[in-house]
Amino acid sequence: MSEELRIAVAGCAGRMGRCLISAIADDPGCVLGAASECRGSSLVGTDAGEMAGTGRNGVIITDDLAACADDYDLIIDFTRPEASLEHLQIASANGKLVVLGTTGFTQEQLKQIDVFASSVPMVFASNYSVGVNLVFNLLAQATRVMGSYADIEILEAHHRHKVDAPSGTALSMGRAIAEVLGKDLDEIAVRGRDGITGERKPGTIGFASIRAGDIVGEHTALFAALGERVEITHKASSRMTFASGAVRAALWLARHPEKRIHSMKEVLGL
């Protein structure tokens, strides 16, 4: 591995991809080694830095990360589940590291990721914001104090283009709470309500999703008891917070390349 960590950005022309290229350019510990877009994209063959607005850098956008595997050490992937699995296959075949931020995987796809973890060192997280990962710790504390008697609801809001709901971060918040309660989230989650639903069932965790405009990401966990409620909220105003966290995770993984799935808690020492 070179002195600077060479990073490939998958889905480089997307909202996160452009932010990742910018975050890599701002960090002296790494350099953009490759950038990819989907097959048939009009951006294939163009300069990645020029596309992202960071200035021409000589990295030409490709539609095949396998063909340029010698140019990078690690892949950062915030794309779609099917594409991410393809990139994990490339990483496994070529001895690369992976920072995975894609959400919306099915249970079967998550099992495939577990298989890849035996050959690919990876950080896999639903959210790379430092603040969100701090929130996970706060949720555990709040659950220990109020979880036995409070009604718990998780509300999240994202931009109109997000394709999965509830968000990966909302589900991770639910899992953090359920773990403290000693419950399986799938058994106690209530996803959306409509019509005559009856009274709220004690011990459940409700989820509500908003998709509108250009909301970057907002998440609130509500602990409501009789006479009071506690709200733990995180609001992201820029995708750069996720991009910077992903680059931080990439640099950490290069120093801890154990072949398994690492968490952002490990990266941050929480």
- Asked whether 29 and 249 are in contact (CB, 8 A), the reply is no
Rounded Cα distance between 179 and 213, Å, is 33
Give the dihedral sign, CA 176/169/80/26.
negative
E runs forming strands in the chain? 5-10, 30-36, 74-77, 97-100, 122-124, 151-158, 189-191, 205-211, 217-225, 228-236, 261-262
Per-residue buried b or exposed e for 168-197, using 16+ beta carbons within 10 Å of the residue's own CB: bbbbbbbbbbbeebebebeebbeeeeeeee
Question: ω into residue 121 within 30 of 0, thus cis?
Answer: no
**Known catalytic residues?**
158, 162
Work out the angle at residue 66's Cα, subtended by the Cα atoms of residues 239 and 114, and round it to the nearest 5 degrees: 65
- Amino acid sitting at position 240: M
User: 53, exposed or middle or buried, with CB in 10 Å at 0-12, 13-18, 19+?
Assistant: exposed
What are the tokens at 87?
């990139």
Say whether 172 sits in a helix, a strand or coil.
Answer: helix
- Asked whether 164 and 104 are in contact (CB, 8 A), the reply is yes
